[in-house]
Chains A and B, each alone.
Chain A
Amino acid sequence: MPDRSVCESVVRQLWPYLDGKVDEAERERIVAHLVNCERCASHMDFARAFIEAVGQFGPRATVSDALRNRVITALAREGFNYAG
Chain B
Amino acid sequence: MTTAQTTTADAGDFATIALPLMPSVVRVAQALTGDESDADDLVQETFLRAYRHWQTFQRGSDCRSWLSTICRNAFYENRRRERRSTPMDDHELDSLASARSHNTARAGGVDDLFTRIDLGPAIADAIARLEPHYRYAVLLIDVDGRTYEEVADLLDVPIGTVRSRLYRGRRQLQESLISFAIDAGFGGADANSPTQRPSSNA
| A interface residues with partner B (beta carbon < 8 Å) | 8, 11-16, 19, 21, 42-43, 45-63, 67-68, 70-72, 74-75, 78, 80, 82-84
**Interface residue count on the B side (C-beta < 8 Å):** 52
Instruction: Decide: A58 and B91 in contact? CB cutoff 8 A.
Output: no
Contacts A15-B91, A52-B200; A42 near B102 (Cβ below 8 A): yes
Whole-angstrom distance between the alpha carbons of A69 and B201 in the complex?
Answer: 44
**Chain A at the B interface: SS class:** helix
Could you tell me if A53 and B123 are in contact, using CB atoms closer than 8 angstroms? yes
From A46, A56, A84, B102 is in contact (CB under 8 Å) with A46
Which of chain A's residues have a CB closer than 8 A to the CB of B99? 11, 14, 43
List of B residues within 8 angstroms of A8 by Cβ: 96
Beta-carbon nearest neighbor of A54 in chain B: B142
Contact A67 B26 (CB under 8 A): yes
Contacts A16-B91, A75-B48: A57 and B120 contacting too (C-beta < 8 A)? Answer: yes
Q: Are A21 and B148 in contact (CB under 8 A)?
A: yes
A43 contacts which chain B residues (CB < 8 A)? 98-99, 102
Taken together as a complex, chains A and B put the C-alpha atoms of A58 and B27 apart, in Å, by 13
Say whether B43 faces chain A, with CB atoms less than 8 Å apart: yes
The interface centre, meaning the residue of B14, B119, B170 with most chain A CB atoms within 10 A of its CB, is B170
Distance (Å) between the CB of B146 and the closest chain A CB?
11
In chain B, positions 1-56 with a C-beta closer than 8 Å to chain A are: 11, 14-15, 19, 22-24, 26-27, 40, 43-44, 47-48, 51-52
What residues make up the interface of B, taking CB atoms closer than 8 Å to A? Answer: 11, 14-15, 19, 22-24, 26-27, 40, 43-44, 47-48, 51-52, 91-92, 94-96, 98-99, 101-102, 105, 111, 114-115, 119-120, 123-124, 127-128, 138-139, 142-145, 148, 163, 166-167, 170, 173-174, 177, 199-201
Least Cβ–Cβ distance between A12 and chain B, in angstroms: 4
* Contact residue among B43, B114, B145, B200 (Cβ-Cβ distance under 8 Å from A50): B114
Contact of A55 with B143 at beta-carbon distance under 8 Å, contacts A61-B27, A63-B22, A78-B48 already known: yes
A60 to B30, CA, bound (A): 13
Complex contact B51–A53 (CB within 8 A): no
- Chain A proximity of B177: nearest CB distance (Å): 8
Q: How far is the CB of B14 from chain A (nearest CB, A)?
A: 7
